[in-house]
Homo-oligomer: A and B are copies of this chain.
Amino acid sequence: MTLNKDTFTGEYQYSLDSKGRVNIPAKFRQSLSKKNQNTFVATRGQDPCIWVYPISEWKKIEDELRNLSSVSGVHRTFIRQIARSATPSTCDKQGRITISPSLISYAQLDKDALILGMINKIEIWNPSTLDKVDKKNINNDINELNALADKIVI
């Protein structure tokens, strides 16, 4: 038994260069290169960070959105939020992807980019933003956090 190829774990600190490129951890690249053409889709996260999906995961989201009725205004806004910032991009020969300026400003990325494996997707953070968000969640919901740990950690 081996690890699921599409499972992302670990944290990596890289730099965002002057052209808006970030490295994708080699371990993440390997997972994908065999199946597809190491292609990712980057979009706005629910938190102030960037979510990067491998193409297989993104297709699932795309299908869900496709099935959403466009009658409701909320639905349309929801679709807009995700779709308008979704940008497919492939790794260059050095294993980097280029982040669009609008995503960079959304995640408030500066020189340092912290990359987190989040099981089925990848997150790109400004390290200081991440600290604040997690600290806030922990303070507000320590009980639920402990309940989750009780249930899942073995």
The reply to whether the CB of A19 lies closer than 8 angstroms to some CB of chain B is no
Q: Could you tell me if A2 and B55 are in contact, using CB atoms closer than 8 angstroms?
A: yes
A79 to chain B, nearest CB (A): 6
A1 touches B37 (CB 8 A): yes
User: Which of B7, B60, B84 sits near A11, CB closer than 8 Å?
Assistant: B84
Chain copies in the assembly? 2
Cβ of A8: which chain B residues have Cβ within 8 Å of it? 83
CB distance B77 to A2 under 8 Å?
A: no
Given A39-B3, A73-B47, A141-B74, the answer on whether A86 and B148 have CB atoms closer than 8 Å is no
A26 contacts which chain B residues (CB < 8 A)?
Answer: none
* Contacts A2-B39, A2-B55, A79-B118; A74 near B144 (Cβ below 8 A): yes
Q: Is the CB of B154 within 8 A of A76?
A: no
Q: How far is the CA of A116 from the CA of B138 in the complex (A)?
A: 30
Q: Say yes or no: is A66 at the interface (Cβ < 8 Å to chain B).
A: yes
